[in-house]
Amino acid sequence: MSLRWRASGELLCAAKHDALEDDTYIDDKLHYQLAVELKVVIPQADERESGVWHWINEGEQ
């Protein structure tokens, strides 16, 4: 699953959120590295519905 990193800092599922002009696209391979190997991004509890992810130091807000 790829992610969109918004200029505002939001980290979102690319399949569930349309692209905005200033988004940085995180492809499947890099997302895997960030989530599984490095464990620095985590899904929000309702990610299946919201598509929201967080950097580990942010936590769920």
Domain hosting residue 22, numbered range: 3-55
Give the global pTM: 0.86
Q: Tell me, yes or no, whether 60 lies in a domain.
A: no
Pair of tokens at residue 40: 């620095």
Domain count, the chain: 1
Residues 6+ apart with CB under 8 A from 48: none
Angle at 46 between CA 16 and CA 42, to 5 degrees: 85
Q: Tell me, yes or no, whether 27 lies in a domain.
A: yes
Q: Tell me, yes or no, whether 61 lies in a domain.
A: no
Give the neighbor-by-neighbor strand order of the sheet with 41-43.
24-26, 3-5, 11-13, 52-55, 41-43
Q: Tell me, yes or no, whether 12 lies in a domain.
A: yes
Each residue's pLDDT tens digit in the chain (61 positions)? 899 999 999 999 999 999 999 999 999 999 999 999 999 999 999 999 999 999 998 755 5
Residue listed under structure tokens 């950097």: 55
Separation of alpha carbons 60 and 53, rounded Å? 9
